[in-house]
């Protein structure tokens, strides 16, 4: 419990404020990337931003100068299309220069529409097709279990992505092997590309499904930085249950006209919308 107390002190010492500031910067910067590139997935970026900000600026242990260090905590972006959120987190964390964000989606940029580990430091595996990140994360967590290592593996999945069968193959194995070093975070914004998840192929009762597969389930407001920090920053617990964090989020969170709108799954604001979006983010109001 000493460790937990220390983390609480850390929170008191301003960790929440740092995550809040970084999340606001990520939103502003990723919207700029999408606006300048004329392409992107703003809805999912904005729903995932606070989770990534909590992980990269408050939870995970890593050294951007040694991105392959064997004892690093791993993050895998299973919903690989949300690169606006991922790239701003990686750049903000120091894996590559922030200025490079301006190359997003340009010819030969390292900032692909979907992340590529072979040329971008900090990316653990190439994702894009859905249903891939969780199996890879399970493999990483098994490696840690076999080695008795205490690094942690985090994976962020979309909620619609849970319609892919490979996710449940992986969930079943993680529960069976009691991969206590693994945390799967579900970006539960209830919208998939074209419609509501519950109208497409319903996921509920979602927490019960994960529990039935042998996972500990925690539900959290996915935009509440203090809550995310306290839920996500748990030590690896070898050979106990893996953890599923259902982060209840809002697609397009932070931009009034994008809130909970499937049409902003991919979409690019026009000049007027872009100015409004940046103004909404700049007025500094507490989004949570």
Partner 1 sequence: MNAHAPSSPGLFDCRDAYSRTLEALAAADPRIVAVVNDSVGSSKLGKFRDRFPERLINVGIAEQNMVGVGAGLANGGKIPFVSGAACFLTARALEQIKADVAYSAANVKLCGISSGVAYGELGATHHSIEDLAWLRPMRGLTVIVPSDPWETAEAVKAAAASDQPTFIRISRMPVPELEHRTPFQIGKAEIMREGQDVAIIATGTLVHRALAAAELLAAEGVSARVINMATIAPLDEAAIIAAAADCGAIVTAEEHVVRGGLGGAVAEVVTQNQPVAMRILGFDGFQPTGSAEWLMERAGLTAKGVAAAARDLVAQKTR
Among 102, 109, 116, 278, binds partner 1 (CB under 8 A): 116
Strand residues in 133-288 grouped as ranges (E): 153-158, 182-188, 216-221, 243-248
User: Nearest approach, Cβ of 59 to partner 1 (angstroms)?
Assistant: 19
User: In terms of CB distance, is 113 or 267 closer to partner 1?
Assistant: 113
- How many residues in the chain? 288
By C-alpha distance, which of 1, 15, 3, 122 is closest to 59? 15
Rounded CA gap, 214 and 20, in Å? 33
The contact mask relative to partner 1 for 63-82 (x = CB under 8 A, - = no) is -------x---x--------
Find the binder of partner 1 among 25, 64, 102, 143 (CB under 8 A): 143
Q: Which stretch binds partner 1 (CB under 8 A): 32-40, 125-133, 204-212, 238-246?
A: 125-133
Q: Could you say which residues in the range 213-252 bind partner 1, by CB under 8 A?
A: none
Q: What angle do CA 185, 190, 194 make, to 5 degrees?
A: 120
Q: Which of 47/183 has CB closer to partner 1?
A: 183
Quick one: three-class SS letters along 23-60?
Answer: HHHHHHHHHHHHHHHCCCCHHHHHHHHHHHHHHHHHHC
Question: Which residues lie closer than 8 Å to 97 by C-beta, 6 or more apart?
Answer: 91
Q: Which of 12, 165, 272, 283 binds partner 1 (CB under 8 A)?
A: 165
184 binding partner 1? (CB under 8 A): no
Query: Is residue 288 a contact point for partner 1 (CB under 8 A)?
Result: no
Enclosing H/E stretch for 143? helix 133-147
Point out which span in 8-16, 82-90, 115-123, 191-199 binds partner 1 (CB under 8 A). Answer: 115-123
108 binds partner 1 (CB under 8 A): no
Shortest CB 175 distance to partner 1, Å: 12
What six digits make up the tokens of 34? 């999408």
Phi and psi for 184 in degrees, rounded to 5? -100, 125
Name the minimum Å distance from CB 70 to partner 1.
6
If residue 213 lies in a helix (H) or strand (E), which one and from where to where? none
Stretch that binds partner 1, among 12-20, 21-29, 54-62, 127-135 (CB under 8 A): 127-135
Q: Is 276 an interacting residue with respect to partner 1 (CB under 8 A)? A: no
56: tokens are 């990269």
Residue choice 162, 173, 227, 236 for contact with partner 1 (CB under 8 A): 173
Position 26 contacts partner 1 (CB under 8 A): no
CB 116 within 8 A of CB 86: no
For residue 185, list its beta bridge partners.
Answer: 156, 245
d(CA 287, CA 108): 35
Does residue 61 belong to the site contacting partner 1 (CB under 8 A)? Answer: no
Q: Taking Cα atoms as reference points, which of 31, 28, 26 lies closest to residue 268?
A: 31
- Of residues 118, 270, 272, 286, which one binds partner 1 by CB under 8 A? 118
64: exposed, middle or buried (C-beta count within 10 Å: 0-12, 13-18, 19+)? middle
Give yes or no for residue 142 binding partner 1 (CB under 8 A). Answer: yes
Residues that bind partner 1 (CB under 8 A): 70, 74, 116-118, 124-129, 131-132, 134-144, 146-147, 149, 165-166, 169-170, 172-173, 176
């Amino acid at each position: 419990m000493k460790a937990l107390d220390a983390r609480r002190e850390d929170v008191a010492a301003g960790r929440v404020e740092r995550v809040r500031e970084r999340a606001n910067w990520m939103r502003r910067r990723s919207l700029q990337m999408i606006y300048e590139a004329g392409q992107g997935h703003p809805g999912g970026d904005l729903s995932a931003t606070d989770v990534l900000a909590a992980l990269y600026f408050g939870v995970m242990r890593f050294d951007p100068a040694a991105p392959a260090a064997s004892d690093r905590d791993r993050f895998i972006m299973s919903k690989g299309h949300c690169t606006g959120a991922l790239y701003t987190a990686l750049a903000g964390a120091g894996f590559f220069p922030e200025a490079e964000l301006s190359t997003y989606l340009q010819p030969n940029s390292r900032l692909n529409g979907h992340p590529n580990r072979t040329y971008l430091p900090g990316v653990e595996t190439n994702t894009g097709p859905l249903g891939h990140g969780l199996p890879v994360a399970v493999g990483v967590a098994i490696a840690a279990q076999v080695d008795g290592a205490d690094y942690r593996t985090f994976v962020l999945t979309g909620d619609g992505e849970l319609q892919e069968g490979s996710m449940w193959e992986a969930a079943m194995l993680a529960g069976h092997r009691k991969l206590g070093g693994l945390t799967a975070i579900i970006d539960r914004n209830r919208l998939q590309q074209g419609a509501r998840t519950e109208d497409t192929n319903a996921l509920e009762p979602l927490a019960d499904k994960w529990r039935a597969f042998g996972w500990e389930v925690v539900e959290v407001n996915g935009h509440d930085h203090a809550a995310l920090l306290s839920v996500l920053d748990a030590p690896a617990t070898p050979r106990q249950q893996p953890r599923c964090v259902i982060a209840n989020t809002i697609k397009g969170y932070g931009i009034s006209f994008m809130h909970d709108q499937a049409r902003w799954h991919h979409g690019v604001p026009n000049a007027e919308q872009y100015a409004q979006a940046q103004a909404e983010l700049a007025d500094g109001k507490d989004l949570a």
